Amino acid sequence: MRISRMFYRTMKEVPKEASIPSHQLMFRAGMIQQVSSGIYNYLPLALKSIRKIERIIRDVLVESGCEEVLLPVVQPAELWKESGRWEYYGDELLRFTDRKDNEFCLGPTHEEVITDMVRRNLKSYKQLPWNIFQIQTKFRDEIRPRFGLMRGREFIMKDGYSFDTDSEASRETYYRMYKAYEEIFRRTGVDFKAVEALTGNIGGSLSHEFQVLADSGEDLIISCPRCAYAANAEKARTVFPVDEAEVTTTESPADVHTPGAGSIEEVSAFLDRSPRDFIKSLLYRVDGKPVLVLLRGDREVNEAKLLAVLQGNTIGLADEETVQSLCGTETGYVGPVGLNDKVPVLADRSVEGRSGMVCGANRKDYHKINVCWERDYKAEIVDDFSFARSGDPCPECGAKLEEFRGIEVGQVFHLGTKYSESMNCTFLDSEGKEQPVVMGCYGIGVGRTMAAAIEQNHDESGIVWPVAIAPYEVVVMPLQMNSSEVIEAGEKIYRELLEGGIDALIDDREERAGFKFNDADLVGYPLQIGIGRKSLEKGVLEIKIRKTGEKLEMSPDAVVSFVS
């Protein structure tokens, strides 16, 4: 490409809402234009980089056995009503009606559409596994679009979905995609960390986010300097100050199946809220019925304790009748429950006139009932549990946890059967029995990854692209446009670079050397080749490495092999 023909203009001033470096630099380098709040034109330089990120994603996913499709942006409300998310998704879902009054939305994510696509083809276990992705425009009516492409309303996402016959196979797929994500972000050249995460609007029980570490990141990451433990602060755990030795089980509280119990996955799928809201929802509403979480202590402590259970255990919910039949109205001891066999966390009695219970269990659908706190367990109730913050002990190894800011560029979710059950996406297993397919889903923000790379790689002069995702790898700059020798030498190198498969461009504008250098630094081409009259006389060219500022001189013949 010739800069003289490029649709391109750099800017000196930045709009005042551009508060972080990546937004400012993308604007100044002429990469993006805002059309409306959170909605952008991607100009040629931005699209070049985006295409490279997409290419890396495609390469790695195809190597990992995934197949590409393209699903519609416009999605019928019926599918969202089937999954239950038409009601639960909230205002981020942009809804509208067509001329015949049919309801639609713009896809913020594609679980419904893909589950529908798959159920129409899926008959037998022999067809599985399937792992399907797309790279496509999403729309989310973000409450506060900001930071340029980082949090847009319309944005490009890679979203992938896996379909397996059972939970074990699905988990294997999950960890294979986790590995694929590590490879993708490694190839793009960003410094990242995979962290345990909550599942939010998407649902499921197991999830990791891929976070690019940067001071401007909106997320707080808690990680251990000694072991591999790392989590989004929303999810971070710490160890509980309860000694195993204090805990003794004397009687034999029966393991009983309690009706109304569900896994976290089921309950949060049903409530579709972030756990903090989820906890509030638990206090007030489950399946339309009021349910009270019976815990002693003030609300905040209760929330923290409940979260502990949510993080580590299945939970059980029951209505008044169930509680009464389990506990008897008067005595009403429920629990205790533990994060594991050793640490009881919750134990309480029903409160007069109120109903409901929550308890944890070590196995799905098994809860210890008719257990009496003082009689069966001698440990103290742990009231001082709190979310892990820096300085707290690591839940895995006890070392002091650290805090970082991060930008969430990708997230993987083990969904289980949330969508396949509600939308009836089933297959016949080897015994001819109908089973719901077990799903996972996997997202990467393509534009956000580009922005995050800039956030992490820039200096006072401009962007410092990781080579793999730089819009162009090399810029050739003839420095005196009134010299035919200089121009010819520049054109020759430019041609040779292109022939050598290098993604090069030439700054053939009638501009001064200083102007070209400033632009080259601002846009951040990894290698800049300056061709000036003086160095030509010496038979050399000047090459600047953007990242280090290092300058090398070499003969024109050596350039192509050096660059490649």
Judged by the rule CB under 5 A, the positions of this chain that interact with Mg ion are: 408, 411
Binding-site partner at residue 151 among ligand ATP, Mg ion, none, CB < 5 to 8 Å by type: ligand ATP
Residue 333's φ and ψ, nearest 5 degrees, are -85, 130
Question: Shortest distance, CB of residue 43 to ligand ATP, whole angstroms?
Answer: 17
Question: Shortest distance, CB of residue 463 to ligand ATP, whole angstroms?
Answer: 19
Residues 6 or more apart from 505 whose CB is under 8 A from it? Answer: 1, 2, 3, 6, 472, 474, 475, 476, 494, 525
Binding-site partner at residue 155 among Mg ion, ligand ATP, none, CB < 5 to 8 Å by type: ligand ATP
Among 32, 26, 29, which Cα is nearest to 10's? 29
Residues 6 or more apart from 184 whose CB is under 8 A from it? Answer: 56, 57, 60, 61, 410, 444
Residues at the interface with ligand ATP (CB under 6 A):
109, 140, 142, 151-152, 155, 157, 200, 202, 408-411, 443, 445, 447-448
Question: Shortest distance, CB of residue 549 to ligand ATP, whole angstroms?
Answer: 31
Cβ-based nearer residue to ligand ATP, 125 or 413: 413
Cα 393 from Cα 396, distance rounded (Å): 9
H or E element at residue 523: helix 513-523
Question: Shortest distance, CB of residue 149 to Mg ion, whole angstroms?
Answer: 14
Cβ-based nearer residue to Mg ion, 223 or 302: 223
Cα 139 from Cα 116, distance rounded (Å): 20
Contacts for 320-325 with beta carbons within 8 Å, 24 or more apart? 320/355, 320/356, 322/258, 322/259, 322/260, 322/357, 323/350, 323/355, 323/356, 323/357, 324/355
Which three-class secondary structure string do you get for 310-361?
A: HHHCEEEEECHHHHHHHHCCCCCEEEEEECCCCCEEEEEECCCCCCCEEEEE
Binding-site partner at residue 441 among Mg ion, ligand ATP, none, CB < 5 to 8 Å by type: none
Cβ-based nearer residue to ligand ATP, 314 or 411: 411
Cα 93 from Cα 81, distance rounded (Å): 13
Q: Is the peptide bond before 478 cis (omega within 30 degrees of 0)?
A: no
Question: Shortest distance, CB of residue 358 to ligand ATP, whole angstroms?
Answer: 26
Cβ-based nearer residue to Mg ion, 234 or 508: 234
Cα 160 from Cα 68, distance rounded (Å): 9
Binding-site partner at residue 142 among ligand ATP, Mg ion, none, CB < 5 to 8 Å by type: ligand ATP
Binding-site partner at residue 436 among Mg ion, ligand ATP, none, CB < 5 to 8 Å by type: none
Cβ-based nearer residue to Mg ion, 177 or 489: 177
Structure token digits, residue 295: 């815990």
- The CA distances from residue 225 to 191, 262, 385, in Å, are 16, 35, 22
Residue number closest to Mg ion, CB atom: 411
Binding-site partner at residue 410 among Mg ion, ligand ATP, none, CB < 5 to 8 Å by type: ligand ATP
Cβ-based nearer residue to ligand ATP, 178 or 472: 178
* Lateral strand order in the sheet of 527-531: 504-506, 474-478, 527-531, 541-545, 551-554
Among 357, 337, 354, 353, which Cα is nearest to 286's? 357
Cβ-based nearer residue to ligand ATP, 157 or 486: 157
Cβ-based nearer residue to Mg ion, 64 or 411: 411
Question: Shortest distance, CB of residue 171 to Mg ion, whole angstroms?
Answer: 19
Binding-site partner at residue 202 among Mg ion, ligand ATP, none, CB < 5 to 8 Å by type: ligand ATP
Question: Shortest distance, CB of residue 445 to Mg ion, whole angstroms?
Answer: 9
Question: Shortest distance, CB of residue 408 to Mg ion, whole angstroms?
Answer: 5
Cβ-based nearer residue to ligand ATP, 408 or 455: 408
Question: Shortest distance, CB of residue 144 to Mg ion, whole angstroms?
Answer: 11
Residues 6 or more apart from 28 whose CB is under 8 A from it? Answer: 10, 11, 12, 14, 462, 522
**What DSSP string describes 216-243?**
T-SEEEEE-SSSS-EEETTT-----S--
Cα 379 from Cα 240, distance rounded (Å): 12
**What DSSP string describes 169-195?**
HHHHHHHHHHHHHHHHHHHHT--EEEE
Crossing angle of helices 484-499 and 556-563, in 10° steps, is 30
Binding-site partner at residue 316 among Mg ion, ligand ATP, none, CB < 5 to 8 Å by type: none
**What number of other Cβ atoms are within 10 A of residue 296's Cβ?**
14
Question: Shortest distance, CB of residue 445 to ligand ATP, whole angstroms?
Answer: 2
Binding-site partner at residue 445 among Mg ion, ligand ATP, none, CB < 5 to 8 Å by type: ligand ATP
Cβ-based nearer residue to ligand ATP, 151 or 187: 151
Question: Shortest distance, CB of residue 152 to ligand ATP, whole angstroms?
Answer: 4
Structure token digits, residue 120: 């129409």
Cβ-based nearer residue to ligand ATP, 219 or 255: 219
Residue number closest to ligand ATP, CB atom: 445
Binding-site partner at residue 294 among ligand ATP, Mg ion, none, CB < 5 to 8 Å by type: none
Residue 499's φ and ψ, nearest 5 degrees, are -65, -30
Cβ-based nearer residue to ligand ATP, 112 or 408: 408
Binding-site partner at residue 311 among ligand ATP, Mg ion, none, CB < 5 to 8 Å by type: none
Binding-site partner at residue 152 among ligand ATP, Mg ion, none, CB < 5 to 8 Å by type: ligand ATP
Cβ-based nearer residue to ligand ATP, 450 or 540: 450
Question: Shortest distance, CB of residue 186 to ligand ATP, whole angstroms?
Answer: 17
Cα 88 from Cα 330, distance rounded (Å): 37
Binding-site partner at residue 447 among Mg ion, ligand ATP, none, CB < 5 to 8 Å by type: ligand ATP
Question: Shortest distance, CB of residue 38 to ligand ATP, whole angstroms?
Answer: 7
